[in-house]
Copies of this chain bind each other. A is one copy, B any other.
């Protein structure tokens, strides 16, 4: 079998407990013995057994990542690799490992999380999404298990969970105002999954801006779709069939925007000449659309990085106050928006 702490102890001529202390770098061990022990560890290529250590410590130094249910293909979104990259970086710095959920349906995921929590498989959890009335969040909340949400909780009574979010309301409002300033009045909104908090926040921001400008919210101009690929395309069909076609589109997600632009180009509607588009996320490919899309950079990497940071804080200081951090966003102007032109079609 593998080399254990006892083997090291034997070689170094000390007790196992001493070796353990050296690993923990206890100050109560003399430099001389430390050196001796370290020597032995190198010699034997000793690596501590995680499970034994975790068991004795009641801590695993790993954090669980919960993906949204992958039944619809949201998981395809390059958003996820990027948040994970952020999380990963922080986790690595602080010597934490990452454990991934594998469930496909909400029930499977719930089961899984329960196992993680009660089975002490992870020290804390990051929810990579946030949706309304999430059973999972309620569960973690009531178990008082350390967790942080990317996005935000929806129910009022859970405002005190730790989360990392963008100001999506504000972002959507600003974006709408921007289009308004460019002279657009017929502005449509293509949102994502309605169960998702970010969608709701976007919509509120959109409505608010319109109201402030004394422009009524037209129901026909507000559509939702959870499918990233087909979603954008179908939405376009609906919107372009209206008698008073919109002159500007606010789209929930860059990937969806690709679909939107695809469909528009099929219909020979020119962007931005005939219609302006503005989108959210700024995933890496978003600059590669033709024309390159104007979008809101939400700093996905930082969302992940901060989430890991907050979670680990929470793990280390169980009585710490919960934290709510807002990652700044930024409008990235590229080439899908322009002042409304007189040659507005229809």
Contacts and interface: CB of A to CB of B under 8 A. Distances in A.
A229 B287 contact: yes
Interface stretch (A113-121, A156-164, A172-180, A187-195): A113-121
B55 A52 contact: yes
Interface stretch (A73-81, A209-217, A244-252, A321-329): A73-81
Nearest to A62: B99
B78 A76 contact: yes
B97 A121 contact: yes
Interface in A32-76: 45-52, 54-55, 60, 62, 65, 70, 73, 75-76
Contacts of A255: 285, 288
Given A81-B81, A98-B100, A290-B265, A121 B285 contact: no
Interface centre among A65, A81, A91, A259 (most CB of B within 10 A): A81
Interface of A: 2, 45-52, 54-55, 60, 62, 65, 70, 73, 75-78, 80-82, 84-85, 88-89, 91-92, 96-100, 102-104, 108, 114-115, 117-121, 228-229, 232, 255, 258-259, 261-262, 265, 283-285, 287-292
Given A70-B88, A97-B100, 5 more contacts: A50-B120, A50-B121, A75-B85, A78-B81, A97-B102
